[in-house]
Amino acid sequence: MMIVLTGARIFDGERFFDDHAVVVEGDRVAAILPYSERPHGPARDLGGGLLAPGYIDVQVNGGGGVLFNEDPTPEGIARIAAAHRKHGTVGLLPTLVTDAPQVMAAAIAGTREARQLTPATLGIHLEGPFLDPARKGAHELRHIRDLKPGDIATIVEANCGAVMLTLAPNRVDAASIAELARHGVLISLGHSSASYAEARAAVKAGAHAFTHLFNAMSAPAGREPGMVGAALDLDEAFVGIIADGHHVHEANLRITFAAKRHDRFMLITDAMPPAAGGPDQFDLQGRRVTCADGCLRLDDGTLAGSVLTMDEAVRYAVNVVRLPLADALAMASRVPATFLRRDAELGRIAPGYLASLVHLDDELRVLETWIEGRPTADGSKRDELAGNT
């Protein structure tokens, strides 16, 4: 079924179009055309606003009251995805914080099954357990451990879409990083007091990214750039940043924007259960986490994820950090799609790409979200794009 979307400005992932229409056929974009060239057939006037590629979040611990560690099932993942979908997220990696081996196994199995049921499930992010205890953040110390050969087998045989693994480069040797990367695992460096040299060696061995830049990692000093310095210096490495005004000072986002290739800068949420409509308090492995003033903390004051959603991250990047709108939108869509190696079908509005889109108002608030041609922003009044028009 074809439908023509009109009436909104269009951002295709790189540039803006006025007075153009998006033609959708089934689950794919067929064309972006001037109004004068649009085909005859069912049409929908969006009534203004901006139509952009849907958001992709590579670090989602939970949302809508669900914590992935506590409910690593297809049903739990579906509930998390549904909560974030209302905020423009069309694809995500359910993220498991450091936990017991059996929980990791359950999370991998649950994600594998969810991939068949929930199109927004693009894979899994294993944040740990191969971390540096000195930079553990809110991760439970008793579950942090060294990487063993059996762990490598478990991870490379996950068979659940993209597999992102956050590890500490001062705790995992370069040969193991190279072996994981050779099998397609997306290695991200984080929760580590590693030196610049250790981080650089890990990237040269095959690591791809840095997890929540500036948080739980060694900071620059005069003669030691640390993890942060390595992330900013190494052109090929992606960085994810929690743009919520609590985790990272706005000036550090501007510094990163100035230092990094813009096609390597991703907005992430690190969202926990209170995000996207969940209760303000929850338990993380037996420890209470409370939301106060928009910030999640353990009782000892340690930051414990966020209540951020991707639409809020984009608004913060534009309205507070003052990044260009095109860059902020790309950081929430095209760049993570590239990191996940899904940039041939996600992160753009272009012929052949999945019709996974977000419609925003003039204040960048989500009006509607489509995943593979189906509107799903808020349990929407329409069942599919070609519905009652």
pLDDT of residue 215: 98
The pair of structure tokens assigned to 351 is: 């012929």
Whether residue 188 sits in one domain with residue 99:
yes
Whether residue 167 sits in one domain with residue 291:
yes
* Integer Cα distance of 254 and 332 in angstroms: 16
Q: Binding site annotation covers 171?
A: no
Residue 294 inside a domain? The answer is: yes
Whether residue 280 sits in one domain with residue 135:
yes
Q: Residue 217 in contact with residue 190, Cβ under 8 Å?
A: yes
Whether residue 128 sits in one domain with residue 39:
no
Whether residue 91 sits in one domain with residue 19:
no
Whether residue 208 sits in one domain with residue 183:
yes
Whether residue 144 sits in one domain with residue 38:
no
pLDDT of residue 380: 36
pLDDT of residue 193: 99
Residue numbers of the chain with a pLDDT score lower than 70: 377-389
pLDDT tens-digit profile of 58-103? 999 999 999 999 999 999 999 999 999 999 999 999 999 999 999 9
Residue 82 inside a domain? The answer is: yes
Of the candidates 6, 24, 121, the one whose C-alpha atom is nearest the C-alpha of residue 375 is: 24
Whether residue 130 sits in one domain with residue 6:
no
Handedness of CA 187, 238, 62, 114 (dihedral sign): negative
Q: Binding site annotation covers 93?
A: no
pLDDT of residue 369: 97
Whether residue 69 sits in one domain with residue 39:
no
Whether residue 199 sits in one domain with residue 159:
yes
Whether residue 184 sits in one domain with residue 76:
yes
Annotated catalytic residue 57: no
Q: Binding site annotation covers 262?
A: no
Residue 386 inside a domain? The answer is: no
Q: Binding site annotation covers 305?
A: yes
Residue 146 inside a domain? The answer is: yes
pLDDT of residue 1: 86
pLDDT of residue 254: 98
Whether residue 242 sits in one domain with residue 282:
yes
Q: Which residues span the domain enclosing 32?
A: 2-52+349-375
Residue 336 inside a domain? The answer is: yes
Q: Binding site annotation covers 212?
A: yes
| CATH number of the CATH domain containing 44 | 2.30.40.10
Q: Binding site annotation covers 69?
A: no
Q: Residue 46 in contact with residue 330, Cβ under 8 Å?
A: no
Residue 253 inside a domain? The answer is: yes
Residue 385 inside a domain? The answer is: no
Q: Of 57, 71, 99, 270, which one is the catalytic site residue?
A: 270
Residue 147 inside a domain? The answer is: yes
Q: How far apart are the first and last CA of the chain?
A: 13
The pair of structure tokens assigned to 49 is: 């606003």
Q: Binding site annotation covers 304?
A: yes
Buried b (16+ CB within 10 A) or exposed e, 56-87: bbbbbbbbbbbbbbbbbbbebbbbbbbbbbbb
* Integer Cα distance of 312 and 237 in angstroms: 25
| CATH number of the CATH domain containing 187 | 3.20.20.140
Domain count, the chain: 2
pLDDT of residue 385: 38
The pair of structure tokens assigned to 359 is: 């419609």
pLDDT tens-digit profile of 327-358? 999 999 999 999 999 999 999 999 999 999 99
